[in-house]
């Protein structure tokens, strides 16, 4: 390793730091301490750059992956919200047309028809999910 001779001026705090560093790392000359400190600094800068690069790359990939998944969720939520609002409008019209007063909630009495509707909807959701999974992961 080629070395260069330099005359440098340091403040007392920096000079003390180099002296302490020499003692801690069992170095004989201030130049060795400065070279070691600079070497470690360069290594840390490389690591910092690598971490920044990795963080940025992972963030971009994660953003792309999440964006498509969130779009699917948003579309599903919008569809469910729309269907719920349509059902509320139908129910409101039925209540008005028949002049119903009050409401019978399922915690008071759940009709067999309601149980059947829940079962059919649950099975439909499972089948749709299975179709989607089959489409995403086709068997060779």
pLDDT tens per residue, range 41-95: 998 888 777 777 788 888 988 888 888 888 888 888 888 888 889 998 988 898 8
- The residue-averaged pLDDT of 104-126 equals 89
Angle at 45 between CA 43 and CA 51, to 5 degrees: 105
Contacts within 8 Å (CB) and 24+ apart, 58-65 = none
Name the pLDDT band for 6 (thresholds 50, 70, 90): confident
Closest CA to 10 of 32, 30, 39: 30
Q: Which is more confident, 1 or 100?
A: 100
18 with 30: CB under 8 angstroms? yes
E-strand stretches of 3-96: none
Query: The whole model's pTM is what?
Result: 0.43
| Per-residue pLDDT, 140 | 61
Number of Cβ within 10 Å of residue 33's Cβ equals 20
């Amino acid at each position: 390793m080629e070395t260069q001779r330099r005359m440098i001026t340091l403040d007392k705090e920096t000079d003390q730091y180099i002296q302490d560093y020499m003692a801690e790392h069992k170095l004989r000359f201030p130049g060795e301490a400065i070279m070691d400190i600079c070497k470690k600094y360069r290594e840390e800068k490389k690591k910092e750059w690598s971490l920044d690069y990795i963080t940025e790359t992972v963030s971009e990939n994660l953003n792309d992956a999440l964006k498509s998944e969130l779009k699917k969720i948003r579309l599903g939520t919008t569809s469910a919200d729309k269907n719920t609002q349509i059902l509320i409008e139908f129910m409101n019209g039925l209540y008005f047309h028949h002049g119903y007063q009050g409401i019978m909630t399922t915690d008071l009495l759940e009709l067999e028809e309601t149980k059947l509707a829940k079962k059919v909807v649950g099975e439909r959701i499972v089948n749709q999910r299975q179709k989607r999974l089959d489409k995403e992961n086709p068997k060779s």
